[in-house]
Structure 1
Amino acid sequence: MNAVALGLDRTVLELKMYSREKESVFFSFLFPILMLTLFSVIFGDVMDSSGSPMNAATFFLPGMISAGILLTSFQTMAMSVAVERDDGTLKRLRSTPIPPVSYFLGKVGLVATTALAQQVLLLAVARFAFDVDLPDTASRWLTFLWVFGLGVFAGTVLGTAFSSLASARSAGAVVVAPMLILQFISGVYFAFTDIPTWVQQIASVFPLKWIAQGMRSVFFPDELASMEMAGTWEHGRTAMFLGVWAVAGLVLCVLTFRWFKRGTT
C-alpha cells in the first residue's frame, strides 16, 4: 500500500512536470485535437469509403482518437523515459528508498490521466463544435472502452521498451518519425481503402491500424464495415492483435529496461 501511495504522489509530480513541457503537451496531447479542428474546418464534408457524403469531423474523429492514444502513451513514455535515463533522473531515483513499482505507477498514472482527458476533449470538440453524432448504444461505448484500454496499455509498455533504443538527443527523431509514418499508413489521415494493399498489409502488423479500425466501428455506421480489408469490423482480431502487442511490450519492458545510461553503472 505504501508503494501505491507513493505511486499516486509520483503521478501528481509527473503531471506537473508534463504540463511544464510545452512541446510534449502540444505534440502528444493537443496535436490530435488541433488536427481534427483543422480538417473539419478545411474540408467541411467529405466522401466516405462508400462514396457517400459525411461530415469531415465524423470521418476524421476515429483516426484522431487512435493517434491520440498512441501519442499520449507510446510517444510520451518513449521520450520521457529516454530523457530521464540520460539526464540521470532514473539513476538518482534508483538510489532512493522509493520502490521501482512506484515510479512505474506514476508513469502509468500520467498516461492514463492525459489519455482520458484528451479523449474527453476530443469528443467534446467533435460534438459541440462540429455536431458529430456520438454513439447512442451501450455496445458501441463498450467497444470504445476496451479498444481504448488495450491501446493505452499496449502503447505504454511498448513506449517504455522503445525508450531503450533512444537517447535524450535522438528521442525526437527516433520516436516521432515511426509514429508519423504509422499515422499515414494506418488510416488516420486517409481512408484505409485508399492506401495501397501492400501498405495496408504492413500497417496491419502494428497496433495503430487495429486501434483505428476499432474506433471506426464505434463511430461509423455498420454498413461501412464492408469497406474494411476483411469486410467486417473484426473485433475479435482487433482484441487479439492489441493483446499480443500488449504482452510483447510487457515482456520487452522486463528484458530491456535500464535504470542507467549506457556505459555507466
Structure 2
Amino acid sequence: MTTPPPAGVRGARTAAFRAGLHRARVEFRQSATNVQDVWGTLFLPVIALIVMYLLRHNTVPGTGFSLGSQSIPGILGLNVVLNGMVALAMTLTMDREDGTLLRAKATPNGMIGYLTGKVLSRAGMSVAGALVPLVPAAFLFDGLRLGDAASWLTLTWVLALGMVAVLPIGAVLGSLFESAQSMGVVMLPLMALMAVSGVFYPLTAFPGWLQLVAQVFPVYWLGLGLRSALLPDALAAAEVGDSWRHLETAGVLGAWALLGFVLAPAVLRRMARRESGSAVAARRAKAMQRPL
C-alpha cells in the first residue's frame, strides 16, 4: 500500500499549483495583449483563410460543397497543433537556454508551478487561435454549422481532448532539444505530416498507405473531429469509411493523451535533473557563437 505524502508536502504542491494558475493567467494576458504574439498566433489561419477563400469555388470531389469551407476545420486544428504542441516545445527549449527553467528548478516545487503555467497559458492561446478565425470564416464561407448547439458541444470536447493529446507531446519535444534552433529537425517531418492529414484536402484523395500513416497521428483525428462539428453531415461521405467516426476519434486522441501523460513526467524529470548552472552557461556560450 502506497503511503500518502505528508500534509506539508501536499500543501506545498497545492501552493505551487496555485502559483502556476496565476502564472498562466499572467502569461495568457501578456500574450493576448502583445501585438507580436497575437500576430504569431493568427498569421497561419489568416493566410490559410485567404488561400481557401480564393479556392472557394472549387468543390470537394464527389460533392458540390466548397473545398474552401471543407478546409476551415482542418485549419483550426492545425492552428491548435502549432500554437499548442509546437509553441510549448519552443518555449521549453528557450527557457532552458536562458536559465528560466533552472531558476524554476531551484525553487521548492517550482517545476510544478512552471509547467502548470506554461501548459495552461499555451492551451488558452490554442483555443483563442482556433476560435477567433471562426468569426471571419462565418462571413467568408458558406455551409459552416455555427448556429447549432450540438455543433458547439462537439467542438468543445474535440478541442479539449485534442489539446490533452498534443500538449504532452510538445512538453516531451521541448525536453529532448536543448535549443530552439535544434527544434528545426522536427519541423520538416511535422509539416509533411500536416500536409497529408486531410487539413487542406480530403484524406481519401491520397494513396492508401498515406491514409494509414496519417491515421496513426492525432493531427488527422483532431481535424476530423472539428469537421464533424462544423460541416454538414453529408460531408462525411468524403471521409475514410464515409463516417465522422466519433468513437475512433475519441479513442485515438485518448490513446495519445495517455501516452503523453506516461512519457512527459519521466522525460521532464530527466530534463530537470540535468539542468545546472554549467549546462546553462555552455548553452549560452554556444548561442553566442551562432552566426547572426
Question: TM-score, with normalisation over the residues of structure 1?
Answer: 0.88
Deviates more, 1:189-198 or 1:96-105: 96-105
Q: How does 1:215-234 map to 2 (within 5 A)?
A: 215-234=226-245
SS of 1:47's equivalent in the other structure is coil
* Contact 1:188–1:212 (CA under 8 A) maintained in structure 2: yes
Bigger radius of gyration: 2
Distance 1:97 1:19 in 2: 31
Change (3 A) 1:30 1:127: same
What 5-or-longer segments of structure 2 have no aligned partner? Answer: 1-13, 281-292
Distance 1:21 1:169 in 2: 22
Task: Output the amino acid matched with 2:18.
Answer: A
1:39 and 2:51 correspond: yes
Q: Which residue is equivalent to 2:18?
A: 5
Task: Output the amino acid matched with 2:231.
Answer: F
Q: Which residue is equivalent to 1:152?
A: 163
1:79 and 2:90 correspond: yes
Distance 2:178 2:137 in 1: 36
Alignment coverage as a number of residue pairs: 262
* Contact 2:74–2:198 (CA under 8 A) maintained in structure 1: yes
Distance 1:131 1:46 in 2: 13
* Contact 2:94–2:179 (CA under 8 A) maintained in structure 1: yes
Tell me how far 1:25 sits from its aligned partner.
5.1
* Contact 1:78–1:175 (CA under 8 A) maintained in structure 2: no
Q: What percentage of aligned pairs have identical amino acids?
A: 30
* Contact 2:144–2:232 (CA under 8 A) maintained in structure 1: no
Q: How does 1:19-98 map to 2 (within 5 A)?
A: 22=36, 26-27=39-40, 29-54=41-66, 56=68, 58-97=69-108
Question: CA-to-partner distance for each residue in 1:137-180, whole Å, 9 max, x for gaps?
Answer: 33222211111001111111110011122221434413422331
Q: Which residue is equivalent to 2:136?
A: 125
* Contact 2:46–2:133 (CA under 8 A) maintained in structure 1: no
Tell me how far 1:31 sits from its aligned partner.
3.2
Distance 1:75 1:200 in 2: 23
Q: Which residue is equivalent to 1:166?
A: 177
Tell me how far 1:114 sits from its aligned partner.
0.5
Tell me how far 1:97 sits from its aligned partner.
3.8
Change (3 A) 1:244 1:82: same
Task: Output the amino acid matched with 1:90.
Answer: L
SS of 2:58's equivalent in the other structure is strand
Deviates more, 1:11-20 or 1:134-143: 11-20
Superposition RMSD on alpha carbons, in Å?
Answer: 2.5
Tell me how far 1:55 sits from its aligned partner.
6.3
Question: TM-score, with normalisation over the residues of structure 2?
Answer: 0.81
1:178 and 2:189 correspond: yes
Distance 2:61 2:147 in 1: 22
Change (3 A) 1:239 1:14: same
Tell me how far 1:71 sits from its aligned partner.
1.0
Deviates more, 1:190-199 or 1:200-209: 190-199
Tell me how far 1:252 sits from its aligned partner.
0.9
What 5-or-longer segments of structure 1 have no aligned partner? Answer: none
